[in-house]
């Protein structure tokens, strides 16, 4: 006579009703697994109970095995070990499911379910060339961008009008297929995305003609952008939600506008400060002069005192670039640094040469005294000699 077999009450083991949904079954298993897992509760009865709970979740989370239970059968009736559960909850059930119970579904095992067709869109980047003056004042422009936008034909569903997705008949809507292999450790369950539906759990029998089932199409459109004063080369302005629309009509990413600052013919930039160089004739440097100096605010007068030396730097406060803070607000302005470069003539006619000789004679500078015997008692090497303490 054969051995009698008792059909186990898998619903009662998990404490759920026969009409419980997948999410309710998963929550019940997680609650019991946290309480009974051997790492948490070393009591032998708890370990036995944990095997029963693991076996019940293995059955009720699988649509095919659950259907057998609802018809009065027992899908584990021929493979059960001690206590009416699977022979080993860590092998028959899968280690990923234990991780799923303790870490909120991140273990990568059974019960993940199909992934959504609706995915967030990627960010987009466009570059804008600006002059130094435009960087100083800020600009508002309309940009032409080419990005993915929502398909107007299917509104992101990917289906042809009048049609709808259907459940994948390969994975039965789970989005993954599993294989079971036996090893000396027991059964090893591996899961991979379903090749038929690519993990979505459903297929589109009639794809939209306009987007081919992707839910989005590429389109050229115009976007207005405001560049604040004080931007610099390499800075980016973010336009939220103006990037690529995601697959399945998912939310759009952001659009970043990157500033490319064009070189200026007069000024070089160092943060909020500007620098320029004025070439001053030798005579003007000796006598002093007033020069018209172009700035971002118009022409300013630059007064140079008699005897101005080459390398002198004059600072015009507040004549630089707006100082743009990380908050997007402007906090004052930088300075304009004017560097003086005294130009010595390289070609002189006879009259100019004679006049310079007369000037040199009047100043006692016909021949430099290398030893330090001029009228001031200092030669051209005196500073060097003094630096060595002689």
Binding site listing for Zn(2+): 151, 154, 168, 171, 194, 197, 208, 211
Q: Which tokens sit at 336?
A: 């304009």
Query: What's the half-sphere exposure (Cβ side, CA atoms, 13 Å) at 364?
Result: 8
| Contact (Cβ atoms closer than 8 angstroms) between residue 246 and residue 120 | yes
Tell me the C-alpha to C-alpha distance, in Å, between residue 281 and each of 286, 302, 307, 341: 9, 15, 12, 9
Which pairing describes strands 186-193 and 176-183: parallel, antiparallel, or unpaired?
Answer: antiparallel
Annotated binding site: 151, 154, 168, 171, 194, 197, 208, 211
Encoded tokens for 386: 């003094």
For the record, the structure tokens of 67 come out as 């259907």
Cα–Cα distance measured from residue 213 to residue 202, given in angstroms and rounded to the nearest whole number? 12
| Burial annotation 22-47 (CB, 10 A radius, 16+ → b, else e) | eeebbebbbebbeebbeeeeeeeeee
Quickly count: other Cβ atoms within 10 Å of residue 278's Cβ: 16
User: What is the spatial distance between Cα 24 and Cα 305, in angstroms, rounded to a whole number?
Assistant: 88
């Amino acid at each position: 006579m054969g051995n009698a077999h008792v059909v186990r009450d898998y619903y009662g083991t998990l404490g759920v009703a026969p009409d419980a949904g997948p999410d309710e079954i998963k929550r019940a298993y997680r609650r019991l697994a946290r309480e009974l897992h051997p790492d948490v509760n070393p009591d032998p009865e708890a370990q036995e109970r944990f095997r029963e709970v693991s076996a019940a979740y293995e059955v009720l989370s699988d649509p095919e095995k659950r259907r057998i239970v609802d018809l009065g059968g027992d899908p584990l009736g021929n493979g059960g070990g001690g206590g009416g559960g699977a022979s080993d909850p860590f092998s028959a059930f899968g280690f990923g499911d234990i991780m799923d119970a303790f870490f909120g579904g991140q273990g990568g095992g059974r019960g993940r379910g199909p992934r959504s067709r609706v995915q967030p869109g990627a960010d987009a980047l466009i570059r804008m060339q600006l002059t130094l003056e435009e960087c100083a004042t800020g600009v508002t422009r309309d940009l032409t961008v080419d990005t993915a936008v929502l398909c107007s034909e299917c509104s992101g569903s990917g289906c042809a009008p009048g049609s709808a997705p259907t459940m994948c008949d390969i994975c039965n809507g789970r989005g993954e297929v599993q294989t079971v292999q036996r090893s000396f450790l027991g059964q090893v369950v591996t899961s991979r995305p379903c090749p038929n539906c690519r993990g979505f759990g459903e297929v589109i029998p009639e794809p939209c003609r306009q987007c081919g089932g992707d839910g989005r199409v590429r389109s050229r459109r115009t976007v207005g952008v405001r560049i604040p004063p004080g931007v610099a080369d390499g800075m980016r302005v973010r336009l939220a939600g103006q990037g690529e629309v995601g697959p399945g009509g998912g939310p759009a990413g952001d659009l970043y506008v990157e500033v490319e600052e064009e070189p200026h013919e007069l000024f070089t930039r160092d943060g909020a400060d500007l620098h320029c160089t004025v070439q001053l004739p030798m005579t003007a440097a000796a006598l002093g002069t007033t020069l018209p100096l172009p700035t971002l605010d118009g022409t300013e007068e630059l007064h140079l005192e008699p005897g101005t030396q080459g390398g002198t730097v004059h600072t015009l406060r507040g004549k630089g670039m707006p100082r743009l803070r990380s908050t997007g607000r402007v906090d004052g302005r930088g300075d304009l640094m004017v560097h003086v470069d005294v130009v010595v003539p390289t070609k002189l006619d006879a009259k100019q040469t004679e006049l310079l000789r007369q000037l040199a004679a009047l100043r006692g500078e016909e021949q430099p005294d290398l030893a330090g015997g001029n009228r001031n008692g200092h030669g051209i090497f005196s500073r060097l000699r003094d630096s060595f303490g002689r």
